[in-house]
Structure 1
Amino acid sequence: MSTQIPTPSRDWLAPDAAAEHLNVSPRTLRRMVSEGRIPAYRLGPRLIRFDVADLDAALRPIPTVGGGAR
């Protein structure tokens, strides 16, 4: 009897849907990938997908003048 280790499920988006999720153009998304700001995953020679958690993690809050964290 084999025991399988549960892995967290991931939500995957195609490039156009990922760009829409971030409210940016597909071209901006491609630039962010090439700059290393957002990871992309390739399956086969052409299929690219984005993990929603990676997209959300790329968003950073803008520091305020007061420096107080919320």
Structure 2
Amino acid sequence: MRGASTLVHEVSAEEIAEFTRGLNALGPQQRRILAVLIPRLIALEERGDPEGAIRIIDQIRTILLEQRRTCH
């Protein structure tokens, strides 16, 4: 078994609720894209590729910000 990821931490009920609200606000296309990007982010972090992880985080951030703009 691999060592614990540095991205993993104890998650509070409040954090889970916030994540669920954010996820529910996304459209189906954004959910599909995130379903691909998040496992890549975890794999990059596990391989010790912070630059790659930052690129994925930037892509995720762009998707989430785009969704916010279209909701208002």
> TM-score, normalising length from structure 2?
0.24
> TM-score, normalising length from structure 1?
0.25
- Kindly indicate which of the two structures has a greater share of residues assigned to strand: 1
- Kindly indicate which of the two structures has a greater share of residues assigned to helix: 2
